[in-house]
Amino acid sequence: MNDKATHFGFQRVAREEKARRVGGVFDSVAHRYDLMNDLMSFGIHRLWKRFTIEISGVRRGQRVLDLAGGTGDLAARFSRRVGSEGEVVLCDINATMLDVGRGRLLDAGITRNVRYVQANAETLPFADNSFDCVSMAFGLRNVTDKQAALESIFRVLRPGGRALILEFSEPTVPGLKPVYDLYSFRVLPLMGRIITGDEDSYRYLAESIRMHPDQQRMCSMLELAGFARCDYHNLSGGIVALHSGYKL
């Protein structure tokens, strides 16, 4: 693949075209995003996110950047962790998702320590060494240049800060992969059509997961971006992996 093309699911598209198409996917699903997450994962996505928070080490008074923060699941939890002395920046490239997230957090009474920024993860509009922790849940696979995004995350982290990348990955339990493939390519698009009226977006979801780097490749990409002590935790048999790396 030449440097002017990239993957959109299983399709090859021009690099500048991918961001537009991904934007269309999330414009379409934003208002049913949380419902679909609960249905698709049988609610287990909440446990994956809770685990991310628990191992983050985030403390009161710290600054957290939640990238691809969408409807605010992680941002709400981080907000309680950092308290009134800290700050959480909920950042998403998609304005519709950001609006949904803002509305959810306001409805939950979270008003004082969360800021909202629309930005591309590849070119973050923040100063160097700005955050104690940067999280990104189920967003990296949608980024056109994943390596640029990891380098951007590294730049805005403070020394000693930690990146947490929660993303779908490669199943490791014997016999799980064919069952997971059947569910992904047959059941998910059908659910998308019934619940959101959008089958294509959930077919893209399944395809984008298959095109995303596996656990070892993700660790290598984090190291290439400058991170140290890179590691990962397989969750649900490797269907999801939580990667972490530190800026020393």
Q: What is the DSSP string of 16-51?
A: HHHHHHHHHHHHHHGGGHHHHHHHHHTTHHHHHHHH
The DSSP bridge pattern shows strands 11-14 and 114-118 to be: unpaired
* pLDDT score at 36: 78
* pLDDT score at 18: 83
* pLDDT score at 3: 60
Exposure letters 68-83 (e unless 16+ CB within 10 A, then b):
bbbbbbbbbbbbebbe
* pLDDT score at 119: 96
Q: Is there a contact between 142 and 29 (Cβ–Cβ < 8 Å)?
A: no
* pLDDT score at 234: 98
CATH fold, domain 16-246, is Rossmann fold (3.40.50)
Q: What is the pLDDT of residues 44-63, one digit of tens each?
A: 999 999 999 999 999 999 99
* pLDDT score at 29: 75
Q: What is the pLDDT of residues 140-172, one digit of tens each?
A: 999 999 999 999 999 999 999 999 999 999 999
Distance between CA atoms of residues 226 and 152, nearest Å: 11
Query: pLDDT 10s per residue in the chain (248 long)?
Result: 446 788 888 888 888 788 788 777 777 777 777 777 888 899 999 999 999 999 999 999 999 999 999 889 999 999 999 999 999 999 999 999 999 999 999 999 998 999 999 999 999 999 999 999 999 999 999 999 999 999 999 999 999 999 999 999 999 999 999 999 999 999 989 988 988 888 888 898 889 999 999 999 999 999 999 999 999 999 999 999 999 999 99
| Element spanning 223, H or E | helix 215-224
CB-CB neighbours of 155 under 10 Å: 16
* pLDDT score at 1: 42
